[in-house]
Chain A
């Protein structure tokens, strides 16, 4: 169960990160240059997709009754974490997305 829970929270964070980086202001905040339109749309799309994956993982961990409750909590808290990281360690905030492949590897081979 812990793997599903971790995944649910992780994808919620990445989802919020995608939505956030899909905004002009926050992309600039991290990379100091404007965001191309295609990339912006792509980031937002990926963000929504990751949130969907997060919902599926939460449902996997808790079932479809409790899963959505946990999903809302995970989205809120990971959004909060992201907002707190962005002004201080913007690169770290984005870099946390690198945990996803690690999680994927553990899930596949662990």
Chain B
């Protein structure tokens, strides 16, 4: 420990930032990509047609398909085509467990769609790191706490927040890296604090369950009911008598008038007298995240059985915070704001990691320092390359895998995930055997080429897929500039990586 308060804060910021920054970078990158998860889904499954079929027509065709193929199922799930997700998917059983069949919304016929983890992989990795779900949630929660600590300690040790509010001095080596790290952190401080804190709020009951345990004696069902989420009891008797399903189109219209754009519907106990139709809104009609909300109709008479519940103040507060994190509201302009803010966050973390090495390169990067110190310095350097450019490589490799792996491959999804982690490990190894600067240049160039090349994979049928390819193109060009700049930087004996942050901020 160091002497003064500021020194201890600086110590904490440096070391917590370094050790946890590598994984935090991965969380921020995948979280940023997850802003466009549906768009990536759509790109990764080129068989799904982009059509402009009304939701009512699509729903009727979906019901007709299910009537023909699954009349006995206990539950029908239908995901309707929306602005961001033009596919029509039907499933039986629980929606959460995936599966299901993709239909052509124009004909109602099943279409063959390749298995792909889709953009959903980034979303899941963002909050679990692909660990078993609850383990992952705890690990990511701990990392979020470290992030909060890094933000607060960062504010404490940055003495000239307002004086250097607009300051960036390029081509000055370590000075420039610090300037960039400071500017990107300070200017986006509202975003950093909001996204980190609200990220913790999402799983607050998993992290700190004591309140619910004390008030409801651990009965989470009683807790949910008290929030106004009471589920209607399923009518078990009626569910055994046959019944005629009502037309869903008028119900959809009624729900849309009440809730705004719709996401999909569930029909429980279809073709029985106890049928229930649950219609859910799209998530982004308001800030508060509407996950789990639905209007419930009687499936035979079409009568409205229960409206979406009004949240009480405390649950509403939590929902609004969660909604702020999920960024489903405000349409595409808002989505882009979140995406670019996320990018700047990623670069902020990366610049902090690089700064650690730039600062110490002079001391430990050459032969004069102790062997053990040099070895640890090298570990930090290798991890920086492997966890920054290596992760980017893994992400773009996943996109390639979704298109390049043979469509009929068994367990295709797990092969995609293996590609992601395999490429990541290879990148770490590559960083271990190459000099740091060469490793940066080679990996960044490869990422740039792969990003630019996404368009070459074809299957660009509609505006959304073109958008994915164009965005990847822009990223690729920017990363290519970074690689070029790193390669060009004067390889001074003191390893000054001057000026590299120029494009990193672009």
A-side residues, CB < 8 A to B, are: 1-2, 5, 16, 20, 23, 25-26, 61-62, 65-66, 69-70, 72-74, 76-77, 79-80, 82-84, 86-88
In the complex, what residues of B have CB within 8 A of residue A5's CB?
A: 333
Q: A76 and B188 in contact (CB under 8 A), knowing A65-B286, A87-B170? A: yes
Q: A76 and B183 in contact (CB under 8 A), knowing A61-B333, A69-B330? A: no
Considering the chains assembled together, what is the distance between the CA atoms of A30 and B287 in angstroms?
41
Considering the chains assembled together, what is the distance between the CA atoms of A77 and B287 in angstroms?
21
B166 touches A23 (CB 8 A): yes
Considering the chains assembled together, what is the distance between the CA atoms of A5 and B166 in angstroms?
24
Partner of B340, one of A1, A23, A77: A77
Q: Is chain B's binding surface mostly helix, strand, loop or mixed?
A: helix
14 A-B contact pairs sorted by A residue (CB < 8 Å)? A66-B329, A66-B330, A66-B334, A69-B287, A69-B334, A70-B333, A72-B191, A76-B189, A77-B337, A77-B344, A80-B183, A80-B187, A82-B166, A83-B187
> Shortest CB–CB separation between residue B307 and chain A, in angstroms?
21
In the complex, what residues of B have CB within 8 A of residue A73's CB?
A: 191, 334, 337-338, 341
- Residues 383-396 of chain B, each 1 if its beta carbon lies under 8 Å from chain A, else 0: 00000000000000
Closest A residue to B324 using CB positions: A69
How many inter-chain contacts with C-beta < 8 Å in the A-B complex? 73
In the complex, what residues of B have CB within 8 A of residue A79's CB?
A: 165-166, 187
Assess whether B206 is interfacial by the CB under 8 Å rule: no
Partner of B187, one of A26, A65, A76: A76
> Shortest CB–CB separation between residue B183 and chain A, in angstroms?
5
Considering the chains assembled together, what is the distance between the CA atoms of A69 and B324 in angstroms?
8
In the complex, what residues of A have CB within 8 A of residue B190's CB?
A: 72, 76
Closest B residue to A69 using CB positions: B324
B-side residues, CB < 8 A to A, are: 165-170, 183-184, 187-191, 286-287, 324, 329-331, 333-334, 337-338, 340-341, 344, 502, 505-506
Interface centre among A2, A61, A79, A88 (most CB of B within 10 A): A79
In the complex, what residues of B have CB within 8 A of residue A76's CB?
A: 187-191, 341, 344
Considering the chains assembled together, what is the distance between the CA atoms of A77 and B337 in angstroms?
8
A20 touches B168 (CB 8 A): no
A26 touches B183 (CB 8 A): no
In the complex, what residues of B have CB within 8 A of residue A86's CB?
A: 166, 168
In the complex, what residues of B have CB within 8 A of residue A88's CB?
A: 170, 502
B287 touches A65 (CB 8 A): yes
Partner of A66, one of B168, B189, B287, B506: B287
Q: Give 3 closest A-B pairs by Cβ, nearest first.
A: A73-B337, A79-B187, A76-B188
Considering the chains assembled together, what is the distance between the CA atoms of A3 and B363 in angstroms?
53
> Shortest CB–CB separation between residue B175 and chain A, in angstroms?
12
Considering the chains assembled together, what is the distance between the CA atoms of A25 and B498 in angstroms?
23
Closest A residue to B503 using CB positions: A84
In the complex, what residues of A have CB within 8 A of residue B170's CB?
A: 87-88
> Shortest CB–CB separation between residue B158 and chain A, in angstroms?
15
Closest B residue to A23 using CB positions: B166
